[in-house]
């Protein structure tokens, strides 16, 4: 299957700082990428849908000013958690759509805010 990478795999930051997470599709062009958040022992919670060259579409209840998403190219999307707080600590996972249907996930990023 297609490969999606994420960087970094783990990050620890202090409260009030910003953190950027990168998501890349390595062997296909993804016009659409998705960002999910996953709490322990729970399902995947879609945060936003990102289309190359346009503004991201955020799910209800997700603060777009806190979770900034940029999809600058067909292989790269970034999620920036701004002014992070301990409640933002979570497992963030991106996925990329290989048209027309398949969606491939990255390995995830564990964010810990102290």
Partner 1 sequence: QQQVKQSPQSLIVQKGGIPIINCAYENTAFDYFPWYQQFPGKGPALLIAIRPDVSEKKEGRFTISFNKSAKQFSLHIMDSQPGDSATYFCAAGEGGSEKLVFGKGTKLTVNP
Applying CB under 8 A, which residues contact partner 1? Answer: 1, 4, 6, 32, 34, 41-44, 46, 49, 51, 91, 93, 95, 97, 100-108, 110
Q: Which long-range contacts does 60-68 make (Cβ < 8 Å, 24+ apart)?
A: 67/35
CB 95: neighbour CB atoms within 10 A?
23
Q: Which is nearer to partner 1, 40 or 86 (CB)?
A: 40
Q: How far is the CB of 102 from partner 1 (least distance, A)?
A: 6
The closest of 90, 89, 92 to 106, measured between CA atoms, is: 92
Q: Which is nearer to partner 1, 70 or 103 (CB)?
A: 103
Q: Tell me the chain's radius of gyration from C-alpha atoms.
A: 13
CA dist 42 and 3 (Å) reads: 24
Q: Which is nearer to partner 1, 68 or 108 (CB)?
A: 108
Q: How far is the CB of 30 from partner 1 (least distance, A)?
A: 11
Q: How far is the CB of 83 from partner 1 (least distance, A)?
A: 26
């Amino acid at each position: 299957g297609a490969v999606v990478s994420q960087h970094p795999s783990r990050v620890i930051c202090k409260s009030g700082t910003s953190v950027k997470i990168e998501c890349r599709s390595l062997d296909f062009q993804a016009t659409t990428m998705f960002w999910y958040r996953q709490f322990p022992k729970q399902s995947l919670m879609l945060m936003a849908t990102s289309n190359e060259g346009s503004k991201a579409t955020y799910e209800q209840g997700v603060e777009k000013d806190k979770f900034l998403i940029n999809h600058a190219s067909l292989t790269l999307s970034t999620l920036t958690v701004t002014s992070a707080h301990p409640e933002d600590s979570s497992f963030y996972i991106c996925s990329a759509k290989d048209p027309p249907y398949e969606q491939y996930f990255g390995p995830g990023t564990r964010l810990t805010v102290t």
